[in-house]
Every structure is written in C-alpha cells, then in structure tokens.
Amino acid sequence: MTPETFEPKILAFCCHYCAYSSADLAGSMRIQYPPNVRIVRTPCTGRLETEYFMKAFENGADGVLVAGCLEGGCHFVEGNLCAKRRVNYTREMLEEIGIEKERLRMVNVSAAMARPLADVIIDMVKTVRKLGPSPIKRNGSLKQESRK
Amino acid sequence: MIVAQRKSIPNLLEIVKNHEKILVLGCGTCVTVCLAGGQREVSIIASALRMAAKLKGLHLQVEELTIERQCDNVFIEQAAEAIERNDAVLSLGCGAGVQAIAERYTNKPVYAGLDTTFIGILEERGIWMEKCAACGECVLDQYGGICPITRCAKRMLNGPCSSSREDRCEVNPERQCAWQLIYQRLKDIGQLDRLRAVKPPKNWNHSQDGGYRTIVREDHRI
C-alpha cells in the first residue's frame, strides 16, 4: 500500500468545550478536513486515561488525536494539562512497544479555532499517511484476530 | 504502603515470551494505590504486551484479572480458574504477592511484572517517597517521628554529619537533610534533650540478617 492509496483511520478525542465545538464550527463554515478522523466527544480531555489510547491502537487505529482546550482555558481548570501528561506517558510506552510515538498527538484549540483544528487534522493525516498503516494492523488488528 | 513500579515492556515481553497464554494478575491493595499494579495498570500492560508480542511475531494470548489481595489466601483462591487455564502468570503484585501466588500454584510459572521498591507514602500527586526500611526495631520514638535509617543517606543514628549544607544533604543536594528535619521536629515538640544522649550502634539482628523474618503470635494460632 503506497502512502497515496493508504487512508489512515484516526481516532480524535475532542473535548466538548472546545475541539468538538470547533469541529462543529468548521462544518458550519464549510471548512474541509479529511474524512479520516472519527471524532469521539469527551466531557474533557482530562477524562481520557492511558488505556483508552492503548485500546484504540490495539483495535487498529492508525493514529490518535487528542484535542483539548488551550492551556489555561480548561473548563475543569486543569483537565487538559492532565491529558497532556498522560499523552506523553503513553507516547513513551508506545515507543517501548515498537509503535511510532508520532501516531499519538495532543493539540490545544479553542471553540472558535475551526481553521486551526482543520489544519491540525490535515497535518495529522499527512503524518500518519507518511508512517503507513499501524504496525499492529498490518496483519489484521488484534480484535479482528480474536473474532476468528 | 508498599510502592512498586512497572518493568519496561521489552523486559516484560522477554520474561513471558516462551508462553502462549498468560494471565496478567493485578492486586487491589498497595500497588493499586501507587498506580503500578491495579486493574487499570493490568489493562494497560496487557494491551501493551499483546501489541508488543504481535510486532515480534509471537503468539501470545493475554488474560486480565485483578484480585483484592495477592498476599491473602482467601483472595488468591479467586484466581484459581484463571490461573489454571493459562500457561503462566505475570503478577503485578509486590514481591510478597508474587511469591504467595507461586507457592499456592506450584505447577505454574509465576513472574514478577513490577519492581517492588520500598515502603513509603504518596508525598504529593505522582511522587512517592520511601519512609520505612522495615529494619525490625523501630527507632522513630527517639527521633521525633523522622527515620534516620531511611531518610539519612548515611543512616546515622548520631547525626548530623559534618557535610550537610543548610538543610540539604551532601549526598544529594536535592534532598533535605534528615537530621535537620529531626532537629527541627524535636525542637517543635520540646524534646531537643533527646539529642544529648549518644545512641549505641543499632542491633541489626532484627533486620535482614540470617534470612527471612517471621512473626509468631501464639494467641492467634489455631
């Protein structure tokens, strides 16, 4: 599969108070972003635990994007800062496992930043497309295997 | 509580690579509190092992289970069926838990997934600190509740040494001098005169001398 034909599956955990609204705004403003992202709305990125990211990769995600509020602007004061630390911890663990850490990324946007969010998604898709399919998925995801 | 930390994923994979079905067994007590071997960590480590094994081309099935305590027979029994249907156990309990499981299931290999590190407390969020060396003969009563064995780098019973700077330890300037803390604490509680007495060498017979230690309580034996 060449980088041109590979369509990555990227899971985007979007905070209800910023990135989710900004994705909504992108829609209203007719701003295009690649359809490779599957958006999951979360009450706050601070709700996300390490195992969520692990399960995403285990079940065949090529990339995971965590989109939280701007630093200092979290609705729950410091949920996005907690998420940042967890994302960094998980990135280290992914390296230990043998998965490129670039497949997991955290970004900070506000509810009005539709264009920057779209740019971030475009960049993430580009990065993951360059990396190729997740090494876990190359021979069928673990979940698919367990179904056999 | 007992504080532990996980081994690296490549290290864990090396430990279990010769098995096809393993049980990652968590413990709901100390290692849950220190975020090393509870239900959540079992889930994370199991996921990581499944992925790492797949990338190495190994066939590894990983089952997850967490029991309330790995150092207690009543709870260990609850893992019997899961242990039976797997080839080996990767215990995320402390060293005591690992050995307790291994002793009860003699036909199964039981491996430690954590490095058990010390007896300590959560100092602040995400930071655990050693407080007790389990030396077997507690001297805290003489030092205002601050343990010179654990917290002084030189384990001095008659301190401080001459090299501490301000309130910092000579061995590691990032750490507070235990003897400064002891002095301050004894001053605060009006017991500074305790420092006038020269302490004799500590009797280490109660510590790790001569193999493992046991405590027998006849009044509790059946």
pLDDT band at A138 (very low <50, low <70, confident <90, very high): confident
Q: What is the pLDDT of residue B165?
A: 86
Q: What is the pLDDT of residue A123?
A: 97
Least Cα distance to B164 among B148, B179, B144 occurs for: B179
In angstroms, what CA-CA distances link B186 with A95, B35, B120, B163, B194?
Answer: 49, 34, 22, 21, 8
- Chain-chain contact of B48 with A51 (C-beta, under 8 angstroms): no
Q: What is the pLDDT of residue B222?
A: 87
A142 touches chain B (CB under 8 A): yes
Query: B69-115 pLDDT, tens per residue?
Result: 999 999 999 999 999 999 999 999 999 999 999 999 999 999 999 99
Interface ipTM: 0.90
Torsion of CA B7, B11, B14, B19, to 10 degrees: 20
All residues of chain A having their beta carbon less than 8 Å from the beta carbon of residue B43 are: 51, 54
Query: B32-64 pLDDT, tens per residue?
Result: 999 999 999 999 999 999 999 999 999 999 999
pTM: 0.91
Q: What is the pLDDT of residue A143?
A: 55
Question: Which residues, numbered 136 to 175 in chain B, qualify as contacts with chain A under a Cβ-Cβ cut-off of 8 Å?
Answer: none
Q: What is the pLDDT of residue B52?
A: 96
Reduced to 3 states, what is the DSSP secondary structure of residue A109?
coil
Q: Find the angle CA(B25)-CA(B31)-CA(B36) to the nearest 5 degrees.
A: 80
Q: What is the pLDDT of residue A137?
A: 80
Mutate to test the interface with B, among A93, A101, A144 (most CBs of B within 10 A): A93
Q: What is the pLDDT of residue A1?
A: 62
A100 touches chain B (CB under 8 A): no
Q: What is the pLDDT of residue A148?
A: 38
Structure tokens at B29: 């007590």
Q: Find the angle CA(A93)-CA(B20)-CA(B56) to the nearest 5 degrees.
A: 45
* More confident: A142 or A121: A121
Query: A5-31 pLDDT, tens per residue?
Result: 899 999 999 999 999 999 999 999 999
Q: Is the pLDDT of residue B217 over 60?
A: yes
Q: What is the pLDDT of residue A140?
A: 55
Query: B139-162 pLDDT, tens per residue?
Result: 999 999 999 999 999 999 998 998
What is the pLDDT of chain A when averaged over all its residues? 92
Between helix A114-131 and helix A19-28 the angle, nearest 10°, is: 100
- Chain-chain contact of B9 with A55 (C-beta, under 8 angstroms): no
Q: Which residue stretches of chain A are H helix?
A: 19-28, 50-58, 79-97, 114-131, 142-147
- Provide mean pLDDT across the span A90-113: 96
- Chain-chain contact of A54 with B55 (C-beta, under 8 angstroms): no
pLDDT band at B166 (very low <50, low <70, confident <90, very high): confident
